[in-house]
Structure formats: C-alpha cells, structure tokens
Amino acid sequence: MEHIIRFSKVTKRFGDLVVLEELDFEVMAKERLVLIGSSGSGKSTILRILMTLEKPDSGFIEVEGESLWHMEKKGRIVPATEKHLRKMRKKIGMVFQHFHLFPHMTVLRNVTEAQIYVLGMSKEEARERALALLDMVGLSEKADQYPAQLSGGQKQRVAIARALAQRPQILLFDEVTSALDPELVGEVLKVLKDLAQEHEHTMLIVTHEMGFAREIADRICFLDKGRIIEKGPPSRIFTEPEMERTREFLRNYIEVSNAINGV
C-alpha cells in the first residue's frame, strides 16, 4: 500500500521543551492510525503540525507526495506560503478536544459556512449536504439551535459533521472525547466507528480510550517524550508490547480505569 503521510526527522520545540524529536513515521492511505502515550508525549502536536496549526522547527513532511510545510520555487526548497498551505489544507480535516464550534452560528450554519465560502458551493447544496451529515451524526433536529444549547457529546458530533463537510481525505481526531462527561463518550465513539466502517478516510486518532483504540485501529503508535517507541497492530501492542515503557503505560491505564470503574 501507498503511504499518504510521511514525517522525516521532524522536530518541534516549545522553548526548551522538545515535543517531537527527529520523528520519522508514515501513514498508509485509508489507514486508521491511533496515537497513544502519556500527556506531553507529542501526540497532539503531530496532528496540529499536520493541520498547519503548528510549524515544525525542522524536518520534512509529505502529504500525498507533496511537501506540506515547504514548496519548490525556482528549483529551491523554500518555506510554504499561505497559498500553498491553503492548497494542502484542503486534504485535511480536524476535530478538536474542545469542539471549537462557532458559538454565534446555528448548528446548520456551523456546517454550511465553510462549504459556501471555502468550497464555493451554493447555499442550497451546502444546506442539503449539511442536513445529510447532521442526520448521519444523529442531530438533524438540532439544525436551528445554537451550540450553547447542546450537550458536549452533541457539540462534538456537530464538529465531526463540520469537518466532514469539507470532504477531506485525511481526518485528524485530537482527544475528541477527553472533554466529555463519561456518559456522553459513547455517542461520539459510535459516530467515529460508523465513520470508519462506512467511509474510506485516512484517520489519525489521538485518544485515551484504549478499548476504542483497540477496536478501531489498524495500527497503534506509542509515543514517549517526542519519539515513537513502539508501533504495530493493536492485537500485538495490547497483548504483548515489546517495550517496558509501553507495558508500564498500559498497566497504569488499566489500574486507573479499574479504579474509576470500582473494580
């Protein structure tokens, strides 16, 4: 299979803190890749760099064979212009931990706005498509409400519909259930599972829900201190991890979730 995303020696620092260190990794087309690791391990930064919200300090990233943060100009490699970034962003969509719905727009407009003004679709087309997507996430009857009137789970489902509306090939999910009350996590995960089943997006998922990760992932990457220290199919990572650090992380996770569930 062909890879759709490739990181080579990507480094990202925030001040003195090294968040990603010479990271190399690839994602195959249509793959469902789940990134796990403790907080601060750099998982979210990978997504944010791909979405062009964060600029890497060094290294090279390719998306669909084209450089993301660089471009060629007169035979030389130069930093990407905003125009180039906009072209590359077309391929990618993102769902955030804290939803970031536009509070001054109705649910419907949250989903139509970028279709109209970014994709240049007519209002009618955009509306129809938005309603279909809202139906898919089970929220068509909320179309005329404002985000403030929705529960966290509903907001996140709208955010998913909003991202899908732009027809990205690559979808990034950044801890999309971490800000939700426990009883609302399920409805969002179900939407993601349906999406994975019925569509062919390449999905990069950062999550702390290990059960979900195991179910949805084609491959798991375990990150620690800005490096991928172990990767492989979930069946192996969850049952016989090779690295001590991975074992420790999973053990911790099981203990914590047992404590929460009162086992």
Partner 1 sequence: MIVKWDFAWNILPVLLKAAITTLEATALGYAMALSLGLVLAIVRRSRVRAISWTAGGIIEFVRSTPFLIQLYFLYFILPNYGLTLPAFVTGILGLGIHYSAYTSEVYRAGIEGIPQGQWEAARSLNFTKLQIYRRIIIPQAIPPIVPALGNYLVGMIKDTPILSAIAVVEIMQRAKIIGSETFRYLEPITMVGIFFLLVSLVFSAFIRKVERGVSMDRRIEKAMEIKG
Q: Which residues bind partner 1 (CB under 8 A)?
A: 51-53, 82, 86, 89-90, 92-94, 96, 98, 100-104, 106, 113-114, 117-118, 144-146, 148-149, 159, 162-163, 166
Nearer Cβ to partner 1 (101/220): 101
* Structure token digits, residue 23: 């990271």
Torsion region of 10: left, alpha or beta (phi above 0 gives left; psi -120 to 50 gives alpha) = beta
| Three state DSSP letters for the chain | CCEEEEEEEEEEEECCEEEEEEEEEEEECCCEEEEECCCCCCHHHHHHHHCCCCCCCEEEEEECCEECCEEEECCEEEECCHHHHHHHHCCEEEECCCCCCCCCCCHHHHHHHHHHHCCCCCHHHHHHHHHHHHHHCCCHHHCCCCHHHCCHHHHHHHHHHHHHCCCCCEEEEECCCCCCCHHHHHHHHHHHHHHHHHCCCEEEEECCCHHHHHHHCCEEEEEECCEEEEEECHHHHHHCCCCHHHHHHHHHHHHHHHHHHCC
Q: How far is the CB of 7 from partner 1 (least distance, A)?
A: 19
Q: Which is nearer to partner 1, 150 or 216 (CB)?
A: 150
Radius of gyration of the chain (CA): 19
Closest approach, Cβ 9 to partner 1, in A, equals 25
Least distance CB 108 / partner 1 (angstroms): 11
Q: Name the nearest CA neighbour of 39 among 186, 175, 238.
A: 175
Shorter beta-carbon distance to partner 1: residue 27 or 170: 170
Q: Return the number of the residue (60 or 146) whose C-beta is nearest partner 1.
A: 146
Instruction: State in angstroms the smallest separation of the CB of 170 from partner 1.
Output: 11
Nearer residue to partner 1 within complex by CB, 114 or 250: 114
Nearer to partner 1, 102 or 253 (CB): 102
What six digits make up the tokens of 86? 């906009």
> What residue type is 171 in one-letter code?
L
We find the least distance from the C-beta atom of residue 99 to partner 1, in angstroms, to be 8
Least distance to partner 1, CB of residue 221, Å = 22
User: Is the Cβ–Cβ distance between 206 and 173 less than 8 Å?
Assistant: yes
Least Å distance, CB 27 to partner 1, is 18
Closest to partner 1 by CB, 82 or 244: 82
